[in-house]
């Protein structure tokens, strides 16, 4: 039985499980993670098995501070330090050459490791109390919608002996920005709430954004291409103009409508992009549980400010893949 536990008791139990090579789901500000001791290959293999995740899709290593990051990377570069000071704890993952102490299973046998310090008090308390780095891919079956409340994790892994630390509804709501610092030019591999413009500003120079979908060789892991974040109910992304033709069997996920035009289920989304990102996976879970035969997702609002545009681009990437057939 998967079980949700709150407070210090949960942290203590979580630490015990991690030391024993077990798994514990923990909240971060992005989504709920499936945690295991990052330096214990057998424990990390359990994460891959439980998620059904392809073994060549590397994991992010979660640390409590820059010092702990220094234990898994070859060199903590000036850029890494600058960005960690600007954005950690927070939704920015940094990819750097790894040290041999990191098991191959974590990195997909590649030469680099992805590290991030999550901005959630429960995640930080767990990592600090454990005293070492923890892997934390999203706590969902591979390819399915990411979890943003503890109940999503419990329901997905109901039959498993798994504890889920309660941290409420994740604040950012979509996965971290992933930035590769292992090459000449810093390169965004996955879009997130922290936009490339803010990373550029902080480093004081231009960076690149990899277009994984157009250049799969740039993806460096299957986690960055193809279908992902998918409800089981077929979903499509539609423009606001098409909403009035929605049949009642289509569940609508919309920020512009107040009622379903044919009397079906409508899940209303916030109009501000931060609120939209926080709400989207929860809305997709809810849509998937309802009796509709399809899910129609209205294109998110198009803001004009740079932070809003960055979130909109990250959302489009998630929604494109959630509706990919
Ligand atoms: P998830 O844990 O499901 O949010 O996925 C983490 C994502 O981070 C993976 O799909 C990869 O795209 C990316 N990632 C993790 N480690 C690396 C790495 N060493 N190099 C490049 N990308 C990575
Ligand atoms: Mg994931």
Say what angle helices 306-322 and 196-203 make with each other, to 10 degrees. Answer: 130
Predicted pLDDT at 217: 52
Which residue out of 178, 186, 213, 228 has the highest number of ligand 1 atoms within 8 Å of its CB and is therefore the one to mutate?
Answer: 178
Distance CA(186)–CA(180), nearest Å, equals: 6
Q: What is the longest distance spanned by two Cα atoms in the chain? A: 59
Distance CA(285)–CA(152), nearest Å, equals: 8
The mean pLDDT value of the chain amounts to 95
Which residues have CB under 8 Å from 225's CB, separation 6+?
A: 212, 213, 216, 219
With 0-12 CB in 10 A as exposed, 13-18 as middle and 19+ as buried, what is 281? buried
Predicted pLDDT at 325: 79
* 218 CA from centroid of ligand 2 (Å): 19
Strand bridging mode 266-268 / 163-165? unpaired
Locate 30 and state its tokens: 């992005």
Q: How long is the chain?
A: 325
As a whole number, mean pLDDT of residues 132-146 equals 97
Instruction: Report which secondary-structure segment, H or E, holds 96.
Output: strand 92-97
As a whole number, mean pLDDT of residues 238-250 equals 96
Q: What is the residue with the minimal CA distance to atom 13 of ligand 1? A: 58
Distance CA(116)–CA(118), nearest Å, equals: 6
Locate 154 and state its tokens: 């419990």
Q: What is the residue with the minimal CA distance to atom 1 of ligand 1? A: 137
Distance CA(258)–CA(264), nearest Å, equals: 12
Predicted pLDDT at 200: 98
Predicted pLDDT at 227: 86
- pLDDT by residue (tens digit) across 151-206? 999 999 999 999 999 999 999 999 999 999 999 999 999 999 999 999 999 999 99
In the numeric block, the tokens 């291409």 are attached to 225
Supply the DSSP symbol for 108.
T
- Alpha helices, H only, the chain: 7-19, 41-51, 66-69, 78-87, 104-107, 121-130, 150-156, 196-203, 273-289, 306-322
Residue 168, Ramachandran bin (φ over 0: left; ψ between -120 and 50: alpha; else beta): left
CA-based R_g, the chain, Å = 19
- pLDDT by residue (tens digit) across 255-296? 999 999 999 999 999 999 999 999 999 999 999 999 899 999
Closest ligand 1 atom, CA of 220? 21
Ligand number nearest CA of 110 is: 1
Q: How confident is the model at residue 222 (pLDDT cuts 50, 70, 90)?
A: low
Residue 314 vs residue 217, higher pLDDT: 314
- pLDDT by residue (tens digit) across 22-58? 999 999 999 999 999 999 999 999 999 999 999 999 9
Q: What is the DSSP string of 139-200?
A: SSSTTBPPP-SHHHHHHHTTTS--EEE---S-SS-SPPEEEE-SSSS-EEEE--SS-HHHHH
Predicted pLDDT at 234: 97
Q: How far apart are the first and last CA of the chain?
A: 33
Ligand 1 neighbours by CB, cut-off 6 Å: 57-60, 95, 107, 110, 112-114, 137-138, 175, 178, 189-190, 220-221, 223-224
Domains and CATH numbers, the chain: 3-218 (3.90.870.10), 235-322 (no CATH)
């Amino acid at each position: 039985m998967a079980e949700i536990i709150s407070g210090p008791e949960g942290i203590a139990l979580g630490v015990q499980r991690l030391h024993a090579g077990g798994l514990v789901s923990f909240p971060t500000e992005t989504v709920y993670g499936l945690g295991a001791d990052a330096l214990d290959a057998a424990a990390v293999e359990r994460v891959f098995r439980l998620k059904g995740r392809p073994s060549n899709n590397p994991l992010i290593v979660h640390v409590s501070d820059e010092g702990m990051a220094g234990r898994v990377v070859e060199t903590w570069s000036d850029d890494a330090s600058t960005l960690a000071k600007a954005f950690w704890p927070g939704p920015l993952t940094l990819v750097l050459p790894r040290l041999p102490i990191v098991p191959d299973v974590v990195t997909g046998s590649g030469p680099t490791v992805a590290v991030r310090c999550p901005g959630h008090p429960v995640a930080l308390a767990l990592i600090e109390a454990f005293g070492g780095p923890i892997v934390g891919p999203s706590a969902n079956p591979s390819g399915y919608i990411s979890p943003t409340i503890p109940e999503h994790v419990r329901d997905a892994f109901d039959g498993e002996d798994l504890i889920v630390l309660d941290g409420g509804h994740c604040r950012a709501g979509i996965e971290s920005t992933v930035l590769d610092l292992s090459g000449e030019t810093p390169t965004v591999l996955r879009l997130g709430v922290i936009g490339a413009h803010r990373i550029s500003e902080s480093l004081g120079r231009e960076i690149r954004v990899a277009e994984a979908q157009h250049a799969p060789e740039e993806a460096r892991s299957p986690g960055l291409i193809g279908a992902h974040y998918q409800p089981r109910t077929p979903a499509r992304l539609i423009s606001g103009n098409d909403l009035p033709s929605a049949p009642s069997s289509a569940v609508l996920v919309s920020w512009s409508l107040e009622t379903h035009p044919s009397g079906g289920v409508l899940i209303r989304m916030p109009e501000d992009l931060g609120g939209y990102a926080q709400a989207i996976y929860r809305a997709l879970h809810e849509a998937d549980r309802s009796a509709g035969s399809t899910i129609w997702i209205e294109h998110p609002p198009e803001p004009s400010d740079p932070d809003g545009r960055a979130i909109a681009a990250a959302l489009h990437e998630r929604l494109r893949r959630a509706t990919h057939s």
